[in-house]
Structure 1
């Protein structure tokens, strides 16, 4: 963040004096660099401590205009770093605004330190009316089913332990947000005795490895398989983990599949990467699954759903199936994000990247290891654009334009639309693509982009997001935070002027009921009047252009946007595209 803000008046006390100084100090102690927030009186004590005790540094505050963005920015930051950021939510009402984003981050298994507030818990300290409606006996009940842990500390010492435990748990796999609710009365309490910060001895546990018997069995299966298939799902942003995944696939000569819902985990232009990463299994992908004699899932999300697209009775899959994941440790009863129960012959409760490292060590040490025909990672040529000037832009054309430019500019895709083709813009490194929003909740895309750009602003990366118009309009005020703090990111809206995914659902229902499919647009289209999206961006201080509706104009606009982002500022482009998807979503009932 490069904007020269009004400096903090320097008068920071040397010692912790007030209750709220403790959580502020603990956020710094556990390594939180940023906290996003939308102000609220329930944590006015914490706000003061962040500014007047810590000097608004480590952590530094990011002001947001909506609690949705508080959470989605922290979510995007975690997607780029695998580390938690702070998200501060005001009492009941601010928390309820942020709940959808918290669900997204939970489904995405991303770490996050969420700090809320209630009260004062002591009723004699409450102001009439407002403090009463913003006090809850068990505020954590609002989100306990889709976080990892929560607490309401009631003493200075309990505050210290809450932040230590919260940081431990959110960074321990399987990761997920944690929530700490602060008593407004305790925040504003003058401390009666000194409070010491803990020593550096409360680190999170490293990701667990597999037992030796499981590694040996899995290695034997890989070495004897004639048609192995590796399904790479969740994975870290570490380059060495990326390199080991590639090495394993090459060593055992296995075909590889990845999902567009997850972050980039394997080079998609590698010869062993079998099919385009997509939301749904392609016909070629189904053939590969049917022909495999060994399928190894490395933290693949919704493994049974993947198999159901090949055959409905998934226990009839002929291949031996191994599944490496820690995700069952976080499965509960409220949310069905544990998905269908997959037929697994070799379950391994371990971190997928650790298992890859263990397998490599084991396989490379075996003298009888079979010689593998190594794959290559030579980039595939970019398809020639065959359209003619004046033709309507298709959603896939946005991907083609970015693929042409990425040879000269290091691009990170923070978010893409549901209908992303995925067959042109290859993922060649762990920061090329940061995945989906986790829980499929609209309004997340803009905030995720800001959070990713915040995390990567000191790296040689240009963060780009391709958003749907519905997603943008619900989350558009996240752009103000990008403008205010000079967070550089390129926002491209693939604007079909419709809630088009739901048009397809209405068409599916009409077909089943033999009713007119021509009516699918009613209650879906956003074109009378057409919303001036660029004006919304400019109104928040972001340079913008559009609507762009021709191919040459789009490519020129994207290049201008990239150069503007290189100068350290955000940029916005509204691209009018034809209604349709390059990759059609799966409709219920098909």
Structure 2
């Protein structure tokens, strides 16, 4: 058996039969006569390919493979790779090279230490020294990608490796290799949390993307109810880790230092699970915590724990910790919390609508199984107007790199066809990876894309106001026909001119058997 056939055998052993990519000349030896049990999902640009693989891994719960073309293709993908890394998503990136000389590229990805990135872009990179080592490198990469804390890995694979023979005995051992185990908090560490919660007079819970799973939702809800804990979502959230209509839910924390401190004022203990401490988005000086507030956090990522500027961190699976705490913590003496008053759905005449009204209209169109791929950055802190009652119901780019939402929605839909995906996009974000619309049309992936059209970079205009900058160029996006662009890629598209029409159009699209796009006019920040 040659290296190419062994490559596919290793993928089969791990249940990977879908490859995302945008092929180039170096990939032809691998893709020629693709085995019949594999599916190749063609993206027209590498950033879109990474986004699709990322979404697929999140929805399926299994590692995803994306094949890129050489150094240039890897470069095109790096923006979205920051989201994959920050989201702890198990994606295996393979890159075809003309010769055994590009290991330095993988080393760059694993040794990035710029302040803006804070950590490497991949967990591990490798270029096998011998062609015969390719199957072992792939096996190692898959196992590393899915091990806690999960994350992407990178393999540089020279194009002349594929025809070399491999050792059949070594391959047979690779096919049965496995790594089991998920590091969890030791009982003494859990006892510390239990004791601290019991001693607190006014504790509060903070949840992040690391608890957005069935165990995390159940454990968090039971613990919050047992101890009458108000529950916040950590700043700059990339997922929804708690039901937005639960009586204990208190909203999303502000994404600035003094805003978080103000929200936590009066609480002597903040217990955080599954989140970095904290992902601030707007710079403002101030104290990280109010006087008298102690912060503890449980995270599966030691690097995340070490770089936190405040608090005491414990390393282990945060959802497991929540489950065990809920199982062993008796109900407290505090009275149950009353639910916050929910805002009434807005009904506006138009011709353009507020972000809140648009969300309300979309909420009326979806059901509890709908998954929202959210890249509408000017409203990133108001998505909790959606009624979200199941884990894995909302995803936002973890590192804030635009161009993720559209292709990730396609991957999310392919990764779990049982749940329909609603992709909510700003008209600026759409264009970063707009070519992914072709992939949705070509493979008939039934994602519903809703584009809020405000003809501006509203998020940047918000920043300009906060930072008191005036007359900034390039913040307007006039004269772009989004429905025509979608139609050109093969996606049927329509414009909604009323909120009722928006709800009806999205409901119909969610029951269609292919992709649809709906454009809706959004009120501009300024005229």
TM-score between both structures, scaled by the size of structure 1: 0.80
* Match of residue 107 from structure 1: 86
* Match of residue 320 from structure 2: 354
Say if 2:521 is the partner of 1:579. Answer: no
User: Any conservation in 1 of the 2:299–2:317 contact (CA below 8 Å)?
Assistant: yes
CA distance in 2, matches of 1:541, 1:174: 39
CA distance in 2, matches of 1:294, 1:192: 57
User: Any conservation in 1 of the 2:403–2:433 contact (CA below 8 Å)?
Assistant: yes
- 3-state SS of paired residue (2:173): coil
* CA 391–307 in structure 1, closer or farther in 2 if over 3 Å, else same: closer
Alpha-carbon displacement from aligned partner over 1:113-160 (angstroms, at most 9, x marks no partner): 111121233xxxxxxxxxxxxx63523134223100011123354222
* Match of residue 310 from structure 2: 343
* Match of residue 5 from structure 2: 21
* CA 381–292 in structure 1, closer or farther in 2 if over 3 Å, else same: closer
* Match of residue 498 from structure 2: 551
* Match of residue 68 from structure 1: 47
* CA 237–498 in structure 1, closer or farther in 2 if over 3 Å, else same: same
* CA 279–541 in structure 1, closer or farther in 2 if over 3 Å, else same: farther
C-alpha deviation, 1:302, in angstroms: 3.2
* Match of residue 459 from structure 2: 501
CA distance in 1, matches of 2:363, 2:334: 31
Q: How does 1:508-547 map to 2 (within 5 A)?
A: 508=466, 510-511=468-469, 517=470, 519-520=471-472, 522-527=473-478, 530-546=479-495
Structure 1 runs of 4+ with >6 Å offset: 192-195, 306-309
C-alpha deviation, 1:179, in angstroms: 0.8
CA distance in 1, matches of 2:173, 2:409: 35
| Largest Rg, 1 or 2 | 1
C-alpha deviation, 1:381, in angstroms: 5.8
Deviation larger for 419-428 or 263-272:
419-428
* CA 305–69 in structure 1, closer or farther in 2 if over 3 Å, else same: closer
C-alpha deviation, 1:237, in angstroms: 4.8
* Match of residue 563 from structure 1: 508
* Match of residue 396 from structure 1: 356
C-alpha deviation, 1:503, in angstroms: 2.7
CA distance in 1, matches of 2:509, 2:289: 53
* CA 166–544 in structure 1, closer or farther in 2 if over 3 Å, else same: same
* CA 328–220 in structure 1, closer or farther in 2 if over 3 Å, else same: same
Alpha-carbon displacement from aligned partner over 1:333-374 (angstroms, at most 9, x marks no partner): xxxxx86x4322x4211111121122233325xxxx535645
Alpha-carbon displacement from aligned partner over 1:489-508 (angstroms, at most 9, x marks no partner): 11111121112222334445
Say if 2:142 is the partner of 1:167. Answer: yes
User: Any conservation in 2 of the 1:411–1:464 contact (CA below 8 Å)?
Assistant: yes
C-alpha deviation, 1:429, in angstroms: 1.1
* Match of residue 152 from structure 2: 177
Say if 2:332 is the partner of 1:370. Answer: yes
CA distance in 2, matches of 1:200, 1:470: 45
C-alpha deviation, 1:422, in angstroms: 2.8
* CA 238–300 in structure 1, closer or farther in 2 if over 3 Å, else same: closer
User: Any conservation in 1 of the 2:53–2:408 contact (CA below 8 Å)?
Assistant: yes
User: Any conservation in 1 of the 2:505–2:518 contact (CA below 8 Å)?
Assistant: no
C-alpha deviation, 1:275, in angstroms: 2.5
User: Any conservation in 1 of the 2:207–2:274 contact (CA below 8 Å)?
Assistant: yes
- 3-state SS of paired residue (2:450): strand
CA distance in 1, matches of 2:31, 2:263: 55
User: Any conservation in 2 of the 1:443–1:471 contact (CA below 8 Å)?
Assistant: yes
* Match of residue 264 from structure 2: 289
- 3-state SS of paired residue (1:138): helix
* CA 287–500 in structure 1, closer or farther in 2 if over 3 Å, else same: closer
TM-score between both structures, scaled by the size of structure 2: 0.89
Q: CA RMSD in A?
A: 2.9
* CA 181–249 in structure 1, closer or farther in 2 if over 3 Å, else same: same
* Match of residue 151 from structure 1: 126
Alpha-carbon displacement from aligned partner over 1:154-201 (angstroms, at most 9, x marks no partner): 335422221221111111111110011112111133568776333665
User: Any conservation in 1 of the 2:269–2:293 contact (CA below 8 Å)?
Assistant: yes
* CA 505–485 in structure 1, closer or farther in 2 if over 3 Å, else same: same
Q: Which runs of 5+ in 1 are unaligned?
A: 1-15, 122-134, 332-337, 512-516, 582-590
Equivalent pairs, count: 514
CA distance in 1, matches of 2:354, 2:304: 40
CA distance in 2, matches of 1:509, 1:380: 32
* Match of residue 116 from structure 2: none
Alpha-carbon displacement from aligned partner over 1:76-99 (angstroms, at most 9, x marks no partner): 122323422111001122111111
* Match of residue 262 from structure 1: 238
* Match of residue 243 from structure 1: 218
Alpha-carbon displacement from aligned partner over 1:216-240 (angstroms, at most 9, x marks no partner): 1210111222211111112355323
CA distance in 2, matches of 1:374, 1:509: 41
* CA 153–469 in structure 1, closer or farther in 2 if over 3 Å, else same: same
User: Any conservation in 2 of the 1:207–1:354 contact (CA below 8 Å)?
Assistant: no
Say if 2:388 is the partner of 1:437. Answer: no
User: Any conservation in 2 of the 1:171–1:204 contact (CA below 8 Å)?
Assistant: no
* Match of residue 463 from structure 1: 421
CA distance in 1, matches of 2:243, 2:160: 53
User: Any conservation in 2 of the 1:409–1:462 contact (CA below 8 Å)?
Assistant: no
Of 267, 288, 296, 1:322 maps to 296
C-alpha deviation, 1:208, in angstroms: 1.1
* CA 220–330 in structure 1, closer or farther in 2 if over 3 Å, else same: closer
* Match of residue 91 from structure 1: 70
* Match of residue 450 from structure 1: 410
* Match of residue 163 from structure 2: 188
CA distance in 2, matches of 1:280, 1:492: 29
* Match of residue 105 from structure 2: 139
* CA 564–402 in structure 1, closer or farther in 2 if over 3 Å, else same: closer
User: Any conservation in 2 of the 1:21–1:46 contact (CA below 8 Å)?
Assistant: no
* CA 572–97 in structure 1, closer or farther in 2 if over 3 Å, else same: same
